[in-house]
Amino acid sequence: MAAVDSRPLALVTGASRGIGAAVARALAPTHDLVLGGRDAVALESLAAELDGARAWPVELTDDGSVAAAVAGLDLPRLDVLVHSAGVGLLGTIEETEPDTWRHQFEVNVVAVAGLTRLLLPALRAARGDVVLVNSGSGLTARAGWGSYAASKFALRAFADALRAEEPDLRVTSVHPGRVDTDMQRSVVAHEGGEYDGSKFLRPESVAAAILAAVTAGADAHLPEIVIRPR
């Protein structure tokens, strides 16, 4: 799926809900979209809502499936890649099994690196933008958040390395605080608290920051964005 000449093309992972869906809606007025994720029904619903959007259901941790899916897109260029897919599994060091560490890194780091690698030729052709939706936990680790924070620190390191290796690309790490999403509901339930989404950032606020990064003038590069609830 190549971009229409007058409209740049963006691929957004984790687009079925939360921040990813908000990013897709923010980009839709100016970009054609490939909506990546596992929930094919949700992706098709969002694609039907947005002009110039196509659902792209794929299991990002399955290397073979991802390679085949990328080849099927046949992208000569890609202007924007937003990595929004991720998982947040909490627990103390003592109670976190090795499989949890592996799964968290597989989704939050390895899958991101693998997809980016496959899309580098298209990104280079467009001198494009890569945006990685990180977390406040990618800047500071807290008790009970060890494996999640470690994966997000690693994601930040990946962004730093990509930025250094690919000077023609703009690479942005976005570190939001708590966001009103399904994942945040799980976090609050884990903490034993009562959920109040009004205390958190809206996904649309995070999407607005991402839109600012990818639509900045050609002379500008926003390498890191930190967003906190007021």
DSSP state of 131: E
Cβ neighbours of residue 54 closer than 8 Å, sequence gap 6 or more? 1, 33, 34, 35, 47
Cβ atoms of residues 179 and 202 within 8 Å? yes
CATH H-level, domain 9-227: superfamily: NAD(P)-binding Rossmann-like Domain (3.40.50.720)
Average the pLDDT over 192-207 and give the result.
Answer: 83
Look at residue 41 and give its three-state secondary structure.
helix
Domain ranges of the chain: 9-227
How does residue 3 score in pLDDT terms, banded at 50, 70 and 90? very low
What are the distances in angstroms from CA 201 to CA 11, 184, 224?
Answer: 23, 11, 18
Instruction: Say whether 148 is catalytic.
Output: yes
What are the distances in angstroms from CA 184 to CA 18, 135, 197?
Answer: 10, 12, 9
Strand partners, 81: 11, 130
The predicted-structure confidence for 90-149, as pLDDT tens digits, reads as follows 999 999 999 999 999 999 999 999 999 999 999 999 999 999 999 999 999 999 999 999
The predicted-structure confidence for 17-70, as pLDDT tens digits, reads as follows 999 999 999 999 999 999 999 999 999 999 999 999 999 999 999 999 999 999
CB atoms within 10 A of CB 113: 15
Q: What is the pTM of this model?
A: 0.92
The predicted-structure confidence for 151-194, as pLDDT tens digits, reads as follows 999 999 999 999 999 999 999 999 998 877 767 767 767 677 78
Strand partners, 56: 36
Catalytic residue among 148, 153, 158, 200: 148
pLDDT of res. 8:
97
Strand partners, 175: 226
pLDDT at 13 over 90: yes
Select from 29, 24, 66, 26 the least CA-distant residue to 47.
24
Q: Where are the alpha helices (DSSP H) in the chain?
A: 18-27, 40-49, 63-73, 98-105, 111-126, 146-165, 182-191, 203-214
Q: CA–CA separation, 117 vs 211, rounded Å?
A: 23
Q: Is residue 30 exposed (0-12), middle (13-18) or buried (19+ Cβ within 10 Å)?
A: middle
pLDDT of res. 197:
67
DSSP state of 198: G
Q: Name the residue type at position 55.
A: A
pLDDT at 1 over 50: no
Q: Is residue 208 exposed (0-12), middle (13-18) or buried (19+ Cβ within 10 Å)?
A: middle
Token pair, residue 59, equals 């299991």
Q: CA–CA separation, 176 vs 138, rounded Å?
A: 10
The more confident residue out of 82 and 188 is 82
pLDDT of res. 6:
73
pLDDT of res. 5:
52
Q: Is the dihedral of CA 156, 34, 25, 6 positive or negative?
A: positive
